[in-house]
Structure 1
Amino acid sequence: MAVALSEDETIVVPSSLSFISCTSLLSKSQRLLLGLLLLLFVDVIWVLSSELTKYIFQNAEYDKPFFTTYFKTSFFMIYLTGFIFAKSWREQCFGHTYEYQHLKQDVIEDPEDPSSVLSGPTFVPMKTGEESGHPTSIVESTEESTSRSVRFNGVVEVRELSPNEAVDALMARLSYSASIRAEVATRRCAEKLSSLETMKVAATFSLLWFLGNYSYQAALSHTEAGLVNVLSSSSSLFTLMLAACLPSGSSDRFTLTKLIAVVFSIAGVVLVSLSDLKVEQSIPVGAGWALAGSMCYAAYLVLLKRRVDHEDKMSIPMFFGFVGLINTIVMWPSFFILHATKLEIFVWPTQQQWLYIALNGLIGTVLSEFLWLWGCFLTSSLIATLAMSLTIPLSMLADVAVKHISYPFLFYIGSIPMFLSFFAVTLLSHWEEWDPVAQVLNRIVDSCRSRNRNRFMNDTDDGEQRESLIEQPESSSE
């Protein structure tokens, strides 16, 4: 497996290091770039998924938000087939772990027999002449200088280092920065959650994930999409506050610039949604669902990143597989409750409706949620929630391009701060200690203080001069 660490450095990772994901060896800027590309790709998937959801609710006449959310979540169990095809998953079930002997740097054992670290002998044909790359004259001179009675074997004995020694050799060939990243990545893999621990994490967060998705679906069925989008965009504000209180890393540090970027993003959502937003006299029911969904999404993302701060510490497909299994087992009695209370009458979908639900579940849920959470680990929880808001202008741009729908100029004005806020927070995550707004405010405060200090000093000097001028005539008269 080849991994590019930088423009001039590419290494081949041996099988003993294959448990380290490729993203672990990337630099911080490379991780941010890959995370941004993943999140933008997920936005495109979600735009297509939202259009398909509208088609299911309206054109296909199957307005059942709980049913669609339940079965889309159940499709996560496809990931559990990894226990059949992935050997590493089965080893986690039996408690097998990787050996990290090269981490024990304080213990150095020199084997008595050097051949003990080598594999058994294998014999390969010897390359001579043009095959070996040597000039023919050298080979001929060698043959002439050799006695005719001596014959050389046509094969070469080859022995390989053991996997542990190969890891040490690889680490020795890396640059300093690359070796540090590889060492940190190996330590993370040593702390990777087992299958049982991953199931416990999934059981903790599966309810939050389901409530967040169901609340958004219920809000769309009760209230127009414009108001739902405005209220759902508040998840970025909730994420900023929760991440500041419960940080998972240095990128979650609260800054004034991040706060202003989030406010600008919400303002952009309001401007975009005002193009087709109708203000109701009373507070609609969907508004409560939208706010509940945004809070659940923020809590799910921040708390999960605090529990698992890196993608190497947990298998994301295994996590979502257990989320689907737990929700399928726990949530099925809700069908009887919703049907008995007539909040959602149970109706079995037709074959065509099943096709739409399955397609939306596989692409819009199974694939997109995996890529979105992966992008969140590569960037930050705030960037991931801001990326969710970008689906609003992207979906409207898709309507302009495909359906030839015209939107007012206010829509295009509101899209600008949304995209600018997204990329601004990305830059702030790269330079974690950078807070330009706070720096400008500090300079303004310092300049005001210096002016007041200078003014006070000038007033003091003027007062002293006046006192001296008043005292001089009195002293002269004496």
Structure 2
Amino acid sequence: MPRFTPWVLGVASITVCAVIWTAASVVKKRIFNDLSFDQPFALSVVANACYVVHFLSWGVRSAVASRRAGRRRRADNRVELLETPLPPELAAPDRTWRAEAWAALLIMPVFFAGQWSYGVGLAMTSVTSSTVICTTSSVTTFLGSRYFLSEPSSAKKWLGVLLCIAGAVLLLQGDRAPSGPAPSWVGDLICWLSALFYSAYVLLVRALVRDPLQFFSFLGAYVLLLGGPAVALLLHFSPAYAGPFWASFSPEVLWLLLLTGLLDNALSQFFWAQGVLLTSPTVATAGLGLTIPLSVASDLLLGHSVGPWQYAASAVVGVGFLLVNLGHHAAKEEPADDNAAPLSETRQEAAGGGRQ
């Protein structure tokens, strides 16, 4: 059975995440447009609270690890085996949960602010404009990762980041008559703030998180404990909020909210965090642009018309994502600064399962 490098697994995780995001956009469109449930705060709370399902996954993983460790001990009765520490993949989960809990507590406000502000901005501007603006996060993420995490830089990587943004601009050019609300500079500004929150979130995950399963478990618990009461208070004390909420709320809305939370949040964000840890923040953020060619592919499968601008945007984004990956490897081969902390060392710590 072939063994894949961590980089290949990371790129595969990012690709799976982009596929889930593209599919989830159909569900969100139905929630906001077809069912008229324009409640971005409630959507963010319910969707992000679904991360608590990872506590079940964490428990299953711990049980499997304990069982495998027991088999190792029973396979050999020598005392030395009992004194030998467990492999990192078995010992790490129970050793780092406190650190992941603190990381989740620190990152949760930034993460929630990014998602909530994007929902607010999306309601005030067009879908295409919000997509293009959020794509600019690849630049801020690259600059922040370069400055704070010493991520290697190269001309190919810069060109790849710019091509990812160019692909989003081409998509905007081909969508001059958006089906959603007309573009608004206020909505665009809020979407831009959301992109900044997202960049900060990516950098914090890369710097602080080692076990995405534990991290998202605590993240969901914090959102549930803080966001749940906040929604309840709004429904109780704010008639202006409660009226539209209950008018558009239905069992179908609840089912779609849970579906969005389980797929678009709990599952896709887990793959995305794995991609960040196994590659780099810039590669993971550039991977957001993969939703453009995937959206074109979904339109073709559904029989929707696709114009030349969409094809051009897909090709440019694909080339840009490839150059970001090639540029990262090319930069790693160059002589490193003695004072820099290469990301490869951080990935080795992540693979080893914990902080020192």
TM-score norm. by structure 1 comes to: 0.60
Is the 1:272–1:393 Cα contact (8 Å) retained in structure 2?
Answer: no
- Aligned pairs for 1:336-347 (under 5 A) are 336=233, 340=238, 342=240, 345-347=244-246
| Separation in structure 1 between the aligned mates of residue 76 and residue 261 of structure 2, nearest angstrom | 51
* Mapped contact 2:104–2:216 kept (Cα < 8 A): yes
SS of the residue corresponding to residue 61 of structure 1 reads: coil
Residue of structure 1 equivalent to 2:282: 382
Which amino acid in 1 is paired with 2:274? W
Contact 2:152 2:328 in 1 (8 A): no
* TM-aligned CA distance change 1:387 to 1:282, over 3 Å: closer
Partner residue of 2:189? 288
Name the aligned partner's letter for residue 164 of structure 1. Answer: L
Shift of 1:202: 0.4
Deviates further, 61-70 or 331-340: 331-340
Pair 80,416 (structure 1): closer, same or farther in 2 beyond 3 Å: same
- Cα distance in 2 for partners of 1:90, 1:34 equals 21
* Residue identity opposite 1:329 in structure 2: L
> Which residue number corresponds to residue 143 of structure 1?
none
Once the two structures are superposed, residues 383-423 of structure 1 have per-residue CA deviations (whole angstroms, 9 ceiling, x without a partner) of 11111121123113312320x22233122122212111101
Distance of 2:184 and 2:123 partners within structure 1: 15
State the match for 2:30 in structure 1: 55
Aligned pair count reads 323
Residue 349 of structure 1 aligns with which residue? 249
Distance in 2 (CA, whole Å) between partners of 1:83 and 1:414 is 39
Superposed CA offset, 1:76-119 (max 9, x none): 1111235654547999xxxxxx9xxxxxxxxxxxxxxxxxxxx9
Q: Distance in 2 between matches of 1:36 and 1:217?
A: 27
Which blocks of at least 5 consecutive residues in structure 2 are unaligned?
335-356
Q: Is 1:256–2:152 an aligned residue pair? A: no
Q: Give SS of 1:431's match.
A: helix
Q: Is the 8 A contact 2:125 2:182 kept in 1?
A: no
2:134 matches 1:232: yes
Structure 2 counterpart of 1:369? 269
Q: Which runs of 5+ in 1 are unaligned?
A: 7-25, 92-97, 99-118, 121-157, 169-181, 309-313, 436-478
Give the distance between the partners of 1:399 and 1:370, measured in 2 at CA. Answer: 26
Matches within 5 A, 1:206-225: 206-225=108-127
The whole-number CA distance in structure 1 between the counterparts of 2:251 and 2:205 is 37
In the TM superposition, residue 209 of structure 1 has moved relative to its aligned partner by 1.2
- Tell me, in whole angstroms, the C-alpha distance in 2 between the residues paired with 1:271 and 1:265: 10
- The corresponding residue for 1:465 is none
Higher relative contact order (CA 8 A, sep 6+): 2
What is the CA distance between 1:260 and its match in structure 2?
Answer: 2.1
The Cα shift of 1:232 comes to: 0.5
The secondary structure found in structure 2 opposite 1:393 is: helix
Tell me what 1:360 maps to: 260
Checking the alignment, whether the CA contact within 8 Å between 2:160 and 2:322 is kept in structure 1 is no
Question: Is the CA contact (8 Å cut-off) linking 2:110 and 2:201 kept in structure 1?
Answer: yes
Partners of 1:5 and 1:405 in 2: CA distance: 39
**Identity in percent:** 23
For the pair shown, the structure with the greater C-alpha radius of gyration is 1
Q: 1:86 to 1:323 in 2, by over 3 A?
A: same
Structure number with the higher helix fraction is 2
**Could you tell me whether the CA contact under 8 Å between 1:226 and 1:277 is conserved in 2?**
no
**What letter matches 2:135 in structure 1?**
S
1:409 aligned to which of 302, 305, 308: 308
Q: Quote how far apart the aligned CAs of 1:257 are.
A: 2.8
1:408 to 1:90, Cα distance in 2 relative to 1, 3 A: closer
CA contact (8 A) 1:32 1:426 kept: no
Cα-Cα RMSD: 3.4
Match of 2:215 among 314, 319, 340: 319
1:307 maps to 208
Return the letter of the residue paired with 2:227: M
8 Å contact from structure 1 (residues 390, 419) kept in 2 = yes
Deviation readout 1:276-302 (Å, 9 max, x if unpaired)? 135999843221221111111111111
Whether the 8 Å contact between 1:212 and 1:296 is mirrored in structure 2 is yes
1:298 and 2:199 equivalent? yes
Which of the residues 73, 88, 92 maps onto 2:48? 73
Query: Could you tell me which residue of structure 1 aligns to residue 106 of structure 2?
Result: 204
Query: What is the CA–CA distance in structure 2 between the aligned matches of 1:303 and 1:297, rounded to whole Å?
Result: 10
Q: 1:281 to 1:59 in 2, by over 3 A?
A: closer
CA distance in structure 2 between the partners assigned to 1:244 and 1:323 by the alignment: 26
Aligned residues of 2:126 and 2:182 also touching (Cα < 8 A)? no
Mapped to 1, the partners of 2:170 and 2:28 lie a distance apart of: 24
The two structures have a TM-score, normalised by structure 2, of 0.79
Amino acid aligned to 2:218: F
Q: 1:393 to 1:32 in 2, by over 3 A?
A: same
CA separation of 1:166/1:203 partners in 2, compared to 1, >3 Å: closer, same or farther? closer
In terms of mean alpha carbon deviation, does 35-44 or 364-373 score higher?
35-44
